[in-house]
């Protein structure tokens, strides 16, 4: 499933019409739901659009997927002068970072 | 040319359809009816998520009140940092997004007929029910602490029973040099760091307006959430003002006398208060207990993967009413219960397997101006229980672990993050952004 998710651009069939989804969108509605669940923690502070505010960084389309995942992994190691993100990042898997990146990173 | 135009037209219209509608559906004819009881952090978050993630599901939210005042940030009203209207919301945003909002009281649930009976309107049928009933207070659990007593000795712990402004008015009217007494319950209870943020915010107010006032916190337990962080901050910001007494130091309040304005401890101490804030023991909201969802503890056991009741099939119980330890009873974590419960309810209705859950909590507490602290937790389901992911989460770093400059920066940032957290969470649950 992950390899499908991580492909940049997906084509889905809907009622015989080929729909070109926006770049970075997941292949299937169930994947989108799963991403919504995994990013349930992110949106609690960064907001539904990821824009942040009150000093909370904007995470919407500010990084490539690789940069996003690398940032999260660095937080796990207490890098980048963290306040809360180190404590948060240690609770998630690499696969979940990749799924988060689909929602937050620049379209690929 | 005509072909091209037609094809382009088709593409354009198909692209405008939301993604989930474009996906194959199991049942095209019958829209699933998802009904949610309770419009707090759990219920409102469930409604918003269901509406966004499942456009082909009919979402009904049953909530008796027209407005919702949050428990989070209520303490900031006491501290003079917020006004009650800043923390009060309507359901208009959810209604605008297509949630059917029914302002009525759910009085009974018939789990076999799958209907909810309302006080005023006709019954509401559901395919799956999500219940987010919040807490009820256990009147009489502390001898003498009745609903009447709560007018003299406010709890300020359930805004739908009593607004925080009742306690606020008493604090404002208290003479300088007076004693503010708090009775704090044993676990489990709503918002584990809440009483200690309240101590902090009242101290913040006293420091400016009533510098000779004292705070005596009588606690039915021996330790509390973010304890070292709170106690370090109290010493630093409010030296000599706060006394906290745990259970083994005769901190458990067993009786109150609202006429004499006294509280009485387990081993016989009598304390006279100028203002008394009694936070009594709690249990799941009545509708959940009446529906047979609670066990002998008064709380509702659930399946960790789906939040479906362990006692009654087809009903998911989320938020404070559920038994979900080691997760705290908090607004944020309720919003992640909500999303998992919605996704699981839809999956189960469609005969699919629900995704493995990850639950998440961040609780910020304001301790003073530009002084915030937090606790974080990431949780998963393991068999029939919830677990906290090892080596993750935890509280803000303690004073001794940082330079003074770094600590001040950390506390200042977390105070601002707290404001962002509150805004992001409430905007989403009420459909405002």
> Structural domains in chain A?
28-104 (1.10.760.10)
What are A56's strand-pairing partners?
Answer: A53
Q: How far apart are the CA of A64 and the nearest CA of chain B, in angstroms?
A: 23
Q: Where are the alpha helices (DSSP H) in B240-393?
A: 286-290, 331-349
Which of left, alpha, beta for B211 (phi over 0: left; psi -120 to 50: alpha)? alpha
Average pLDDT of the residues in B17-41:
71
Residues of B in contact with A25 (CB under 8 A): 19
What are B316's strand-pairing partners?
Answer: B130, B308
Q: Do A29 and B360 touch (CB under 8 A)?
A: no
Residue A23: exposed, middle, or buried by beta-carbon count in 10 A (0-12, 13-18, 19+)? exposed
What are B101's strand-pairing partners?
Answer: B61
Looking at residue A2, its pLDDT comes to 44
Residue B28: exposed, middle, or buried by beta-carbon count in 10 A (0-12, 13-18, 19+)? exposed
Confidence at B401, pLDDT banded by 50, 70, 90: confident
List, for residues B128-162, the tens digit of each pLDDT value: 999 999 999 999 999 999 999 999 999 999 999 99
Average pLDDT of the residues in B379-407:
95
Q: Whole-number mean pLDDT of chain A? A: 81
Looking at residue B269, its pLDDT comes to 97
Average pLDDT of the residues in A30-50:
94
Going by C-alpha positions, the residue among B414, B417, B403 that lies closest to residue B372 is: B414
Looking at residue B209, its pLDDT comes to 98
Looking at residue B231, its pLDDT comes to 98
Looking at residue A17, its pLDDT comes to 29
Supply angle C-alpha A24, A66, B18, rounded to 5: 15
Residues of A in contact with B357 (CB under 8 A): 37
Element (H, E) at B424: helix B404-429
Least confident of B1-5, B8-12, B68-72: B1-5
Q: Using CA atoms, how far apart are residues B300 and B312, in angstroms rounded to an integer?
A: 10
- A3 vs B: CB within 8 A: no
Start-to-end C-alpha separation, chain B:
42
Selected residues 356-385 of chain B with any CB under 8 Å from a CB in chain A = 357-358, 360, 362, 374, 376-378
Q: Using CA atoms, how far apart are residues B264 and B143, in angstroms rounded to an integer?
A: 9
For residues B292 and B325, is the Cβ–Cβ distance under 8 A?
A: no
- B108 vs A: CB within 8 A: no
Q: Where are the alpha helices (DSSP H) in B54-91?
A: 74-78
Q: What are phi and psi of B80, to 5 degrees?
A: 80, 15
List, for residues B97-126, the tens digit of each pLDDT value: 999 999 999 999 999 999 999 999 999 999
Residue A15 pLDDT > 50, yes or no? Answer: no
Confidence at B29, pLDDT banded by 50, 70, 90: low
Looking at residue B393, its pLDDT comes to 97
List, for residues B217-257, the tens digit of each pLDDT value: 999 999 999 999 999 999 999 999 999 999 999 999 999 99
Confidence at A29, pLDDT banded by 50, 70, 90: confident
Q: Which of B14, B358, B417 sits opposite A83 (nearest CB)?
A: B417
Question: Dihedral angle at the C-alpha atoms of B286, A37, B326, B221, nearest 10 degrees?
Answer: -60
Secondary structure (H, E, C), chain A: CHHHHHCCCCEEEECCEEEECCCCCCCCHHHHHHHHHHCHHHHHHHCCCCCCECCECCCCCCCCHHHHHHHHHHHHCCCCCCCCHHHHHCCCCHHHHHHHHHHHCCCC
Q: Do B413 and A83 touch (CB under 8 A)?
A: yes
- A66 vs B: CB within 8 A: no
Q: What are phi and psi of B118, to 5 degrees?
A: -105, 160
Residue B11 pLDDT > 80, yes or no? Answer: no
Which of left, alpha, beta for B113 (phi over 0: left; psi -120 to 50: alpha)? alpha
Going by C-alpha positions, the residue among B331, B328, B324 that lies closest to residue B309 is: B324
Looking at residue A31, its pLDDT comes to 87
Task: Spell out the domains of chain B, with CATH numbers in brackets.
Answer: 30-134+285-429 (3.50.50.60), 139-281 (3.50.50.60)
Joined together, the tokens standing for residue B405 give 């400059």
Supply angle C-alpha B146, B150, B156, rounded to 5: 130
- B16 vs A: CB within 8 A: no
């Amino acid at each position: 499933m992950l390899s499908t998710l991580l492909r940049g651009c997906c084509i889905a069939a809907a009622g015989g019409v080929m729909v070109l989804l926006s770049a970075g969108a997941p292949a299937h509605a169930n994947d989108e739901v799963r991403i919504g669940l995994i990013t349930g923690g992110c949106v609690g502070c960064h907001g539904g659009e990821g824009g942040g505010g009150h000093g909370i960084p904007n995470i919407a389309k500010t990084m490539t997927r690789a940069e996003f995942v690398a940032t999260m992994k660095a937080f796990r190691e207490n890098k980048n002068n963290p306040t809360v993100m180190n404590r948060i990042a240690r609770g998630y898997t690499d696969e979940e970072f990749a799924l988060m990146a689909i929602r937050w990173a620049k379209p690929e | 040319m005509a072909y091209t135009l037609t094809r382009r037209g088709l593409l354009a219209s198909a692209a405008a359809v939301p993604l989930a509608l474009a996906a194959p559906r199991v049942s095209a004819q019958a829209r699933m009816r998802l009904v949610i009881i309770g419009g707090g952090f759990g219920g409102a978050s469930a409604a918003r998520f269901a509406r966004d993630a499942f456009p082909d599901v009919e979402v009904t939210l049953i909530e008796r009140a027209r407005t919702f005042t949050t428990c989070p940030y209520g303490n900031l009203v006491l501290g003079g940092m917020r006004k009650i209207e800043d923390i009060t919301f309507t359901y208009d945003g959810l209604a605008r997004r297509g949630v059917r909002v029914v302002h009525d009281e759910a009085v009974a649930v018939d789990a076999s007929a799958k209907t909810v009976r309302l006080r005023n309107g006709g019954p509401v049928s559901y395919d799956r029910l999500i219940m987010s009933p919040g807490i009820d207070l256990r009147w009489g659990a502390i001898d003498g602490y009745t609903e009447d007593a709560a007018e003299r000795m406010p709890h300020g712990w359930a805004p739908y029973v009593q607004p925080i402004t009742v306690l606020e008015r008493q604090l404002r009217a208290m003479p300088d040099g007076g004693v503010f007494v708090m009775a704090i319950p044993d676990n489990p209870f709503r918002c584990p760091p809440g009483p200690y943020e309240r101590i902090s915010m009242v101290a913040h107010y006293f420091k400016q307006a009533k510098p000779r006032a004292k705070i005596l916190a009588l606690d039915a337990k021996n330790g509390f959430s973010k304890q070292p962080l709170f106690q370090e901050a109290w010493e630093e910001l409010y030296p000599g003002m706060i006394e906290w007494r745990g259970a083994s130091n005769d901190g458990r309040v067993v009786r109150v006398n609202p006429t004499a304005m006294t509280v009485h401890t387990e081993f016989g101490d009598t304390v006279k208060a100028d203002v008394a804030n009694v936070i009594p023991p709690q249990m799941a909201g009545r509708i959940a207990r009446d529906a047979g969802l609670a066990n002998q503890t008064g709380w509702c056991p659930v399946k960790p993967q789906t939040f479906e009741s362990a006692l009654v099939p087809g009903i998911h119980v989320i938020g404070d009413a559920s038994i979900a330890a080691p997760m705290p009873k908090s607004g944020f974590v309720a919003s992640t219960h909500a999303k998992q419960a919605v996704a699981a309810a839809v999956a189960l209705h469609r005969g699919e397997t629900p995704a493995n859950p990850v639950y998440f909590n961040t609780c910020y507490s304001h301790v003073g101006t530009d002084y915030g602290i937090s606790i974080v937790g990431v949780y998963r389901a393991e068999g029939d229980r919830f677990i906290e992911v090892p080596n993750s989460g935890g509280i803000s770093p303690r004073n001794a672990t940082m330079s003074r400059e770094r600590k001040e920066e950390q506390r200042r940032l977390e105070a601002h993050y707290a404001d962002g957290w509150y805004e992001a969470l409430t905007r989403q649950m009420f459909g405002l952004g």
